[in-house]
Amino acid sequence: MLPTIIAITAIVALIVVWGISVQRRLIRLDENIASAMNQIGVQMSSRFDALTALLALTNGYAEREIEALLKTIKAKRKLITAKSTPNDVLSQEKLITESLDRLAEVAKRHPELKANPSYIKMLDAVEAFSNMVRTSCLIYNESVSNLNREIRMFPNSAIAGPLGLKPREYF
């Protein structure tokens, strides 16, 4: 009787240790996703700041148009946080792209603006932050892939369900 109790206790202990191990791994993977999204948010914020500075630099060339663009950005800009989704990021990317397209139209009408070293430098900064966002999106997608793979595998799925972890969206 005693060996049976010891064996059952050992099996239960192993199951509990395994469950805790899986829980910690899943939580770490979930935190990696949150961290990647936060990084995207930081870079998006820097990109918006560079875009705003670029627009302020061009304000003298098409004042009404630039002011309207700045108001649109201020009204539609949303902070990207750990709880944001890829769709939130994509909508902010769309806002930046539309703003840059409108700015390019202004620059076409004003060749001296395109030749301005400060304008070129700020445009390069916006592009650099864009590249950083793309890199962070790749890191985010890799983190999502790791979590989704773990969640879908049995018996990990038995632990993921009660933790409220569900497969995440990719970019």
Q: How far apart are CA 165 and CA 157, in angstroms?
A: 9
CATH fold of 10-163 reads: de novo design (two linked rop proteins) (1.20.1440)
Spell out the SS3 assignment of the chain: CHHHHHHHHHHHHHHHHHHHHHHHHHHHHHHHHHHHHHHHHHHHHHHHHHHHHHHHHHCCCCHHHHHHHHHHHHHHCCCCCCCCCHHHHHHHHHHHHHHHHHHHHHHHHCHHHHHCHHHHHHHHHHHHHHHHHHHHHHHHHHHHHHHHHHHHCCCHHHHHHHHCCCCCCCC
Q: Give pLDDT, residue 1.
A: 82
Q: Give pLDDT, residue 52.
A: 93
Mean pLDDT by 10 residues, the chain (171 residues): 91 94 95 97 96 89 88 94 95 96 91 90 94 97 97 89 90 92
So where are the chain's domains?
10-163
Contact partners, residue 55, CB within 8 Å, separation at least 6: 66, 69, 70, 73, 99, 103
Q: Give pLDDT, residue 61.
A: 82
Contact partners, residue 115, CB within 8 Å, separation at least 6: none
